[in-house]
Amino acid sequence: MSPRNLLEPTFSRTRLGSGPGLLLAHGAGSSLAGSYGPILEALAARRTIVGIDYPGSGDTPRATTPLTVDDLADQLVAAADAEGLDRFAVSGYSLGGPVAIRAATRHPGRVTALVLTAAFPHRDNRLALAASIQSKIAASGDRELLAEFLLMTALGTQALESMPTGQLQQTLGYTAASIADGSAEQTHLVSHVDVRDDLPGITVPTLVISTTDDRMTSPALHRQLAQTIPGAELAEIATGHLPMLERTDEWLQLITDFLGKHDA
């Protein structure tokens, strides 16, 4: 048995299903349901799913101190401990990618595989600008403006331009209503994350899923992950930053096929 994490779990968490363990780390400004909701039930059909909501998402109160990727990673593992999971794969989406990487680095021997979707090892200039704008709008409280910015940057070209005006307005309303209260703090963290030094030391099977029409996290950042993590596989989806909405089934298939080959 690997040593347990001694951290007391304080974030709200979700547990579903049974079978091999799979931890889920969501994106900034979202939640577990927002990042993984469309595929949660299917993932839980064959696995024990444990996910957390970051401060200001779901039922987790907003943070009173700056967020760190190490704290998010440790809380994710603490949730696994609370649910009786000793070893587990970790799937991280967007900001959840660095969280998953830090979980593997900080808790060696417990993580069996990584799936990193639309993720990044550090912020490039485009991501730094996008995160700064998103964080400032979120801090202002203007949810409608933030929704407009997010749809403009996060949706792929085909998905965005195929929307009739009425659907676009409905989607803006839904997006505004679902923005996490802690979006400003979570997005601010994006500008400070740098896990590049962790990548060469990752020894578990890793799948990097690149969203090739992504204007939030550049495909160049996805490729950097795949090229630097030893033995990592790279898969591509023709979508923007939101594969859970644009290519739900394709995203799910990539995750389940990869994990099926590497179940502990």
> What are the structural domain ranges in the chain?
13-125+184-261
- Provide the 10 A C-beta neighbour count for residue 125: 8
Residue pair 115/258 in contact by the 8 Å Cβ criterion: yes
**Ranges of the chain with pLDDT below 50:** 1-2
CA separation for the pair 29, 47 (Å, rounded)? 26
Domain 13-125+184-261 - what CATH class?
Answer: alpha beta
Q: d(Cα 102, Cα 237) in Å, to the nearest integer?
A: 25
First to last CA, the chain: 13
Give the count of beta carbons closer than 10 Å to the beta carbon of residue 94. Answer: 28
pLDDT value of position 8:
81
Residue given tokens 């780390």 in the structure block: 25
HSE, side-chain direction, 13 A CA sphere, residue 110: 26
What dihedral do alpha carbons 76, 134, 196, 37 form, nearest 10°?
A: 40
Rounded to whole angstroms, the Cα distance separating 208 from 99 reads: 14
What's residue 263's pLDDT?
78
Neighbours of 257 (CB within 10 A): 11
Give 41's contacts (C-beta < 8 A, 6+ positions apart): 16
Answer yes or no: pTM beyond 0.75.
yes
* Main-chain phi, psi angles of 241, to 5 degrees: -80, 0
pLDDT of residue 264: 55
What is residue 51's three-state secondary structure?
strand
Which among 80, 81, 60, 75 has a CA at the least distance from the CA of 185?
60
Residue 1 pLDDT: 40
Phi-psi region of 84 (alpha: psi -120 to 50; beta: other; left: phi over 0): left
The per-residue pLDDT for 255 is 98
List helix spans (H) across 155-182: 157-161, 165-178
pLDDT on residue 7: 78
Tokens, residue 81: 């401990």
